[in-house]
Amino acid sequence: MAADLLHPFLFFIIAAMALEIEKKYRIDKKILVELTARLGELGATFTNETFEENYLHRGGVLDGRSAFLRLRKTNHVNTLTYKEKVGSESDFKHQIEFETIVSDVDAMEHIIEKLGYELSIVYEKHRKTWRLGKVEVVLDELPFGYYMEIEGEINDILRAEKRLGATDLEPEARGYPRLTLKYGRPNGDVIESRFEKKRTAA
């Protein structure tokens, strides 16, 4: 199979063991505003604000590893990311992750396609990012809701959670791909979740 040609590359990524640990919370707009204010009070460093288009590809060896390739387009930089789920029964999500900057998005899309991987999910996202001590805190708006993610070591995440007053917030175990499968709409063979385009006056 064509996808198997990428297998040595994926093995190298897995061997690198770039492990991402994060906890996600489902919130509403009111809580998002409160958390934004709280981050300011705590002296968190605001790092960036982006609008993202995320294109997820699956198939071949990726399916056997519970993994996917994500091509992310933003107003600042475009990236290709390999993510593989690592089993965990807790509220903390563990994933193997390897990411690189992509200078030519169209060429990368063709490479992924030629290797036999298929586009399966597309979702858009508005994201604001802060650095709070040893963790990264992001506040996300997607077409189906608002979320916060805290990324870092587990003890640091718990410490940041307490400082933010977020210990009673509802954890969300599902990642955005699974949430898009639940709340998105089919467009051919692809499930998409996009913001509605604002109409302009004629």
State yes or no: pLDDT of 201 exceeds 90.
no
What CATH code is carried by the domain that includes residue 179?
Answer: 2.40.320.10
Whole-prediction pTM: 0.86
Position 167 pLDDT exceeds 60 = yes
Can you give the chain as a three-state secondary structure string?
CHHHHHHHHHHHHHHHCCEEEEEEEEECHHHHHHHHHHHHHCCCEEEEEEEEEEEEEECCHHHHCCEEEEEEEECCCEEEEEEEEECCCCCEEEEEEEEEECCCHHHHHHHHHHCCCEEEEEEEEEEEEEEECCEEEEEEEECCEEEEEEECCHHHHHHHHHHCCCCCCEECCCCHHHHHHHHCEEECCEEEECCCCCCCCC
Q: List the domain range (segments joined by +) for residue 162.
A: 2-193
Asked whether residue 75 is assigned to any structural domain, the reply reads yes
| Domain presence at residue 201 | no
Q: What is the pLDDT of residue 115?
A: 94
For the segment 92-142, what is each residue's pLDDT rounded down to a tens digit? 989 999 999 999 999 999 999 999 999 999 999 999 999 999 999 999 999
In a domain, 198, yes or no: no
Q: Which comes out higher in pLDDT, residue 75 or 36?
A: 36
pLDDT at 4 over 70: no
* 56-102 confidence digits (pLDDT tens): 999 988 998 889 999 999 988 999 999 998 876 678 989 999 999 99
How many domains does the chain fold into?
A: 1
Assess if residue 49 is contained within a domain. Answer: yes
On whether residue 36 sits in a domain, the answer given is yes
